[in-house]
Structure 1
Amino acid sequence: MAPSEALLQEMLDEYQLRKLVHSYCRAVDRGDLAELRSLYHHDATDDHGAFSAGSTEAFLAELAAARPYIRSMQHHVTTVNFAISGTTAEGEVYSVATHTLNGGDHDVDVIVGGRYLDKYENHDGTWKFVERKIVTDWSQVNDPSTVDFSHPISSGTPRGTPDANDPSHQFFSLLNRPGGQPAR
């Protein structure tokens, strides 16, 4: 039995929504604020609790201000649930986010397990965020940081950075294009 057109469209929409969520993770972790901005509709909101709540522009401004204090970030997406209805969708995206921050005379780790509660809209064939709310289910703070690069598995490897100096920017040619898409 061949899949219905409706099922095929749902699969395509879910694929695009997953790419959107993963693009967010890469953009925020690599400090690519222009790419991050492109993932939201112009009137979107983003509620990151005490860090920033309100417009996407306010969130991006806070993120830009925090950049000098961020040593590294990694956002890992786990369970993803989407509900799609035409050109609107909702998503509950489970995540674990690690942050190592400059605490002055030492670094501090903040590890957060939580969920993104997202609303999306598709305009002209492109899904983007219209609303994002962070839910924290658990959090761990290591002060001072427990990051240790002395083991032979990590010793001598390049260090990731949340900016254009990250090794991926020199390594990749396709992933560094806007939207991570090859030129057509």
Structure 2
Amino acid sequence: MARPKSVEELFDREEIYDILINYARGADRADIDLIAAAYHDDAIEDHGGTFHGPASEYVALISKVLPTAPRMSHIVTNINIELDGEKAYTECYFLTFSRRDQIDDPFDSLTMARVIDRFERRDGAWKIAHRRLAWDWNHEMPLLESWGRGGIAPDPSKLTRGAKKPDDILYGDWLRGDGPATQKGEIE
């Protein structure tokens, strides 16, 4: 990344970065509002051969899929942001872990994709105007979850697990100080 020329440029980069990170959060938690907020109303989504068309149609499609989709985690990395006036061009890597455990032959999947976005600032807000995704690789393996062979959690049934909106801990009242953060007997 080139040295920012102004504080405004730092703010622009941070706003774009937040959109990319919140998009991943939206996918993992099935928080469709976060995903929809990333796009301009007339944005195009090209999901690398699995979908091509208006982003609003893509959001409508995944709003039906994500709430019941298997557990997944999107890690966004190698984020490059090139600012050009009221436009910005980004490239970032999405490493996605997905657990497919609701089938007869359960497996874990690791997938790497690169996302290239054209952002535009309209009415003072940066959002995606056009997104293209390129699939780089995928690796699948049998499901084997032992939590460090018992070293992390001898009884995995007691673990607080990630979930979809609104059941994930991210959406609990405790976060704002309105409820308990831990249960009795938990390590704090």
Specify if TM > 0.5: yes
Shift of the alpha carbon at 1:22? 0.8
Whether the aligned pair in 2 keeps the contact of 1:46 and 1:131 (CA below 8 Å) is yes
2:176 is matched with 173
> Identity of counterpart residues, as a percentage?
25
Counterpart CA distance in 2 for 1:41 and 1:58 is: 12
Whether the aligned pair in 1 keeps the contact of 2:82 and 2:90 (CA below 8 Å) is yes
Query: Any stretches of 5+ residues in structure 2 without a counterpart?
Result: 178-188
Counterpart CA distance in 2 for 1:173 and 1:27 is: 20
Query: Any stretches of 5+ residues in structure 1 without a counterpart?
Result: 175-184
Shift of the alpha carbon at 1:44? 0.6
- Once the two structures are superposed, the pairs formed by residues 25-44 of structure 1 within 5 Å of their partners are 25-44=24-43
1:20 is matched with 19
1:111 is matched with 110
**TM-score using structure 2 length:** 0.79
CA 1:102–1:64: 2 relative to 1, 3 Å: farther
SS at 2:71's partner residue? strand
**TM-score using structure 1 length:** 0.80
Alignment deviations for residues 38-59 of structure 1 (CA, whole Å, 9 cap, x no partner): 2210011112234322111222
Larger radius of gyration: 2
Alignment deviations for residues 47-79 of structure 1 (CA, whole Å, 9 cap, x no partner): 223432211122223323323552211111111
| RMSD of aligned alpha carbons | 2.4
1:26 partner amino acid: R
Counterpart CA distance in 1 for 2:87 and 2:108 is: 36
Shift of the alpha carbon at 1:118? 0.6
Q: 1:159 is matched with which residue: 158, 161, 166?
A: 161
Show structure 1 runs of 4+ deviating over 6 A: none
Farther off after superposition, 84-93 or 67-76: 67-76
Counterpart CA distance in 2 for 1:68 and 1:109 is: 19
CA 1:125–1:148: 2 relative to 1, 3 Å: farther
- Once the two structures are superposed, the pairs formed by residues 3-82 of structure 1 within 5 Å of their partners are 6-67=5-66, 69-82=68-81
Counterpart CA distance in 1 for 2:85 and 2:150 is: 51
Counterpart CA distance in 1 for 2:63 and 2:77 is: 26
2:144 is matched with 146
2:175 partner amino acid: F
Alignment: residue pair count: 170
